[in-house]
Amino acid sequence: MPHVISDECISCGSCAEVCPTEAISPGDTQYIIDPDICIDCGSCVAVCPVDAISQE
């Protein structure tokens, strides 16, 4: 199950830096995760400073 980023995102980019598949990219107002590329590794969850990432 892919992860999603909530509105709590502060666009710091920490999650994108650790994503092994480059599934995370900047969106219009916050970062977004491409569900087709996400491998559900959880690396992004561990580095998010505001706990904005969770499983869908």
Is residue 56 scored above 90 in pLDDT? no
Mean pLDDT of 16-39: 97
Pairing label, strands 3-5, 53-55: antiparallel
CA atoms within 13 A on the CB side of 40: 5
- Per the structure, the complete domain to which residue 49 belongs is given by 3-55
pLDDT at 35 over 90: yes
Task: For residue range 8-21, list pLDDT tens digits in order.
Answer: 999 999 999 999 99
Residue 23 burial class via C-beta count within 10 angstroms: exposed 0-12, middle 13-18, buried 19 and up: buried
Does the structure show a pLDDT above 90 at 1? Answer: no
- The predicted-structure confidence for 37-52, as pLDDT tens digits, reads as follows 999 999 999 999 999 9
**CATH number of domain containing 18:** 3.30.70.20
So what's the pLDDT on residue 52? Answer: 98
Q: How many domains does the chain have?
A: 1
